[in-house]
């Protein structure tokens, strides 16, 4: 047991939350810069840091966890639908 028995759906959800959360943070700051949203400079700073951490976290997660448990290759189509089988080795994805 390596503790890596999470379902792919759960992994994808975590990855999506990290990446989307990061994008939302950065987008909010962009909107604030354009004057569309009211945010204090302090809040903008915090959001930029949070966004960067979330995106880096997503990237690290992608490379460490978002892999086939059999051939250890990263799944393609991160932001699209996935299949029941690994496209690299054809083994069933749990
Ligand atoms: Zn595989």
pLDDT per residue of the chain (94 residues) written in tens, 0 to 9 = 444 556 777 888 888 899 999 999 999 999 999 999 999 999 999 999 999 999 999 999 888 887 887 888 887 655 445 567 787 888 776 6
What is the pTM assigned to this prediction? 0.72
- Give residue 70 CA to ligand 1 midpoint distance, Å: 5
- State residue 35's pLDDT score: 93
Q: What is 3-45 written as a DSSP string?
A: S----HHHHHHHHHHHHHHHHHHHHHHHHHHTTSS---HHHHH
Distance separating alpha carbons of residues 68 and 75, to the nearest angstrom:
7
Domain that residue 16 falls in: 1-94
- Give residue 42 CA to ligand 1 midpoint distance, Å: 45
Distance separating alpha carbons of residues 75 and 66, to the nearest angstrom:
6
Contact 14, 4 (CB under 8 A): no
- Give residue 90 CA to ligand 1 midpoint distance, Å: 6
**Helices 41-65 and 8-33: angle between axes, nearest 10 degrees:** 150
- Give residue 58 CA to ligand 1 midpoint distance, Å: 21
Question: How many structural domains does the chain have?
Answer: 1
């Amino acid at each position: 047991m390596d503790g890596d028995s999470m379902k792919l759906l759960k992994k994808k959800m975590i990855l999506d939350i990290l990446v989307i959360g990061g994008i939302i943070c950065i987008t909010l700051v962009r909107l604030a810069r354009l004057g569309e949203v009211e945010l204090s400079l302090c809040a903008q700073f915090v959001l930029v840091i949070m966004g960067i951490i979330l995106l880096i976290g997503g990237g690290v997660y992608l490379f460490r966890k978002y892999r086939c448990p059999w051939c250890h290759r990263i799944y393609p189509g991160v932001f699209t639908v996935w299949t029941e089988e690994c496209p690299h080795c054809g083994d069933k994805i749990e």
